[in-house]
Amino acid sequence: MNRQIIHLAVGKPKEYDWNNRKEMSAIGKSTVSSIELKKSGFVGDDVANHKFHGGVDRAVCLYPFEHYSYWERMFNKKMTPPIFGENITATGMLEEQVCIGDVYRIGSTIIQVTQGRVPCATISKYNEERDFLKKVVETCLTGYFFRVLKEGTIESSSEIELVEKDPCEISVLSATQVLFHQKEDKKSIEEILKIDALAEDWRKRFLKLL
């Protein structure tokens, strides 16, 4: 499995004019070669809406690079990372391969997968594709978040090393499919709730489904 960072990025909220309406968003991020990671997230990175984004359970956002070719075919145009506002675009880290609770070492940091990403309409607006959000939800090709277990520095050349697999072995993809499309699957929801590392926001969502 070739885990490799393709792109590393951070960014602060900026004002956009979408559909004649001004909105603040941090989806537009800038390329960096090296960046310091704290418990709260990358230095120089932030979100516009702290109610629905960010926090220690969502300190790092990763999106699998392999999906880019799928979206390019879908929308018939070139797409260059990080169009999803992700911090890390990487290979060998598909949602179906990565489990919630898995622990990775990247550079001098150690981070843990906490939840899949719940996308919002900003993805459609930023990429000027009306159906983008709908398609991301349909496919569950969402990317996912990490919490920081050990602060440090990540470089664009840093290796991605799996340190520990979560014992529940529930992939980000399967958990996201339950949240989006299998809301009546009580057995699967109960299994997901057994994951100790599950982000608090997702724990509340799945408890609500029960």
- 94-151 pLDDT, tens digit per residue, is 999 999 999 999 999 999 999 999 998 899 999 999 999 999 999 999 999 999 999 9
* Residue 158 neighbours by CB distance under 10 Å: 19
**Location of structure tokens 């996201």:** 176
Delineate the domains of the chain, giving CATH numbers in brackets.
4-209 (2.40.33.20)
Spatial neighbors of 201 by CB under 8 A, at least 6 apart, are 55, 57, 58, 115
Nearest C-alpha neighbor of 178 from the set 166, 159, 195: 195
Residue whose pair of structure tokens reads 């490799």 in the numeric block: 4
- CA nearest to 101, candidates 154, 155, 149, 66: 149
pLDDT per position as a tens digit, 40-66: 999 988 664 555 555 799 999 999 999
pTM: 0.94
